[in-house]
């Protein structure tokens, strides 16, 4: 059967990755979380005191970054490894979230990661989520979804997720972080977050996760069996 690319873009904390992961499972597709790649680069920059405004330092640092995804057989998650180390948990922490949009706005960072993302999806059969997948990484993706949701609901959900991981964070701090990331992600010069003209909008404010997944699967079926 024809294997396609499903591009899922949208604002921070809308449930893109939850939806993408489950869609990939249902279709037996590969799930690639491109946000995890930007987060891992951010972690490396923070750990190595790379100055974001120093292009030489940025270029040198990028030469030393090796990213890989490995599937964890226990939970089925495609976990990210930075230079051989599993950083899946570390990259979700607030101190990384606070810097990731600034790092993602750097042109050299984007070029390197976009090239890797295109290679990973060469054979199709991929669900990829991020901010510029349908507009830049795969402008010809067969199915594009643009995800949005009410800002307060997003922040409350993110707070609950962090709490489940043992991190207690103030709701206002999360709301502030999500809005600031949306602001930087939508206004940066290089490939900002915008809805592709041919993307379907999915508002996750008042729907269940099952409904979100069913919506995408329904669109997929319409594309593959027109």
* Distance from C-alpha of 205 to C-alpha of 173, rounded to nearest angstrom: 20
- Does position 159 interact with ligand DC (CB under 6 A)? The reply is no
Closer to ligand DC at the Cβ: 177 or 219? 177
How does strand 67-71 pair with strand 78-82?
Answer: antiparallel
- Does position 19 interact with ligand DC (CB under 6 A)? The reply is no
Other residues' Cβ atoms within 10 Å of the Cβ of residue 73 = 7
Considering only 5, 6, 8, 12, the residue that binds ligand DC (CB under 6 A) is 12
**For tokens 């249902």, what's the residue?**
26
Considering only 44, 62, 132, 138, the residue that binds ligand DC (CB under 6 A) is 132
Classify residue 75 by its DSSP letter.
T
- Does position 88 interact with ligand DC (CB under 6 A)? The reply is no
Using CB under 6 A, which of the segments 118-126, 131-139, 154-162, 166-174 binds ligand DC?
Answer: 131-139
* Distance from C-alpha of 177 to C-alpha of 184, rounded to nearest angstrom: 11
Closer to ligand DC at the Cβ: 176 or 222? 176
- For the CB of residue 225, give the shortest distance to ligand DC in the complex, in Å: 29
Considering only 15, 127, 131, 135, the residue that binds ligand DC (CB under 6 A) is 131
* Distance, C-alpha 42 to centroid of its chain: 14
- Does position 65 interact with ligand DC (CB under 6 A)? The reply is no
How does strand 78-82 pair with strand 30-33?
Answer: unpaired
* Distance from C-alpha of 152 to C-alpha of 168, rounded to nearest angstrom: 17
- For the CB of residue 134, give the shortest distance to ligand DC in the complex, in Å: 10
151: three-class secondary structure by DSSP: helix
Number of residues that bind ligand DC (CB under 6 A): 14
76: three-class secondary structure by DSSP: coil
- Does position 185 interact with ligand DC (CB under 6 A)? The reply is yes
- Does position 38 interact with ligand DC (CB under 6 A)? The reply is yes
- Does position 35 interact with ligand DC (CB under 6 A)? The reply is yes
- For the CB of residue 1, give the shortest distance to ligand DC in the complex, in Å: 27
CB burial readout 34-53, b (16+ within 10 A) else e: bbbbbbbbbbbbeeeebeee
Kindly identify the residues of this chain, within the stretch 89-108, that bind ligand DC according to CB under 6 A. Answer: 100-101, 104
* Distance from C-alpha of 169 to C-alpha of 93, rounded to nearest angstrom: 10
- Does position 15 interact with ligand DC (CB under 6 A)? The reply is no
Name the site residues for ligand DC (rule: CB under 6 A): 12, 34-35, 38-39, 100-101, 104, 130-133, 181, 185
């Amino acid at each position: 059967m024809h294997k396609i690319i499903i591009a899922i873009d949208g604002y921070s904390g809308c449930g893109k990755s939850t939806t993408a992961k489950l869609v990939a499972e249902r279709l037996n597709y590969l799930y690639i979380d491109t946000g995890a790649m930007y987060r891992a680069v951010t972690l490396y920059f923070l750990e190595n005191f790379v100055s974001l405004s120093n292009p030489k330092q940025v270029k040198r640092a990028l030469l030393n970054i090796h990213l890989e995804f490995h599937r964890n057989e226990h939970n089925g998650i495609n976990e990210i490894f930075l230079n051989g180390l599993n950083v899946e948990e570390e990259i979700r922490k607030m101190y990384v979230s606070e810097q990731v949009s600034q790092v993602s706005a750097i042109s050299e960072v984007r070029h390197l990661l976009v090239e890797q993302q295109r290679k990973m999806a060469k054979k199709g059969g991929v669900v990829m989520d991020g901010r510029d997948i349908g507009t830049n990484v795969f402008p010809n993706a067969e199915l594009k979804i643009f995800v949005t949701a009410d800002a307060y609901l997003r922040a409350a959900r993110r707070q609950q997720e962090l709490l489940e991981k043992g991190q207690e964070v103030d709701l206002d701090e999360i709301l502030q972080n999500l809005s600031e990331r949306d602001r930087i992600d939508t206004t940066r010069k290089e490939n900002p977050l915008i809805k592709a003209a041919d993307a379907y909008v999915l508002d996750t404010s008042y729907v269940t996760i099952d409904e979100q997944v069913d919506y995408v699967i329904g669109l997929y079926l319409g594309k593959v069996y027109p």
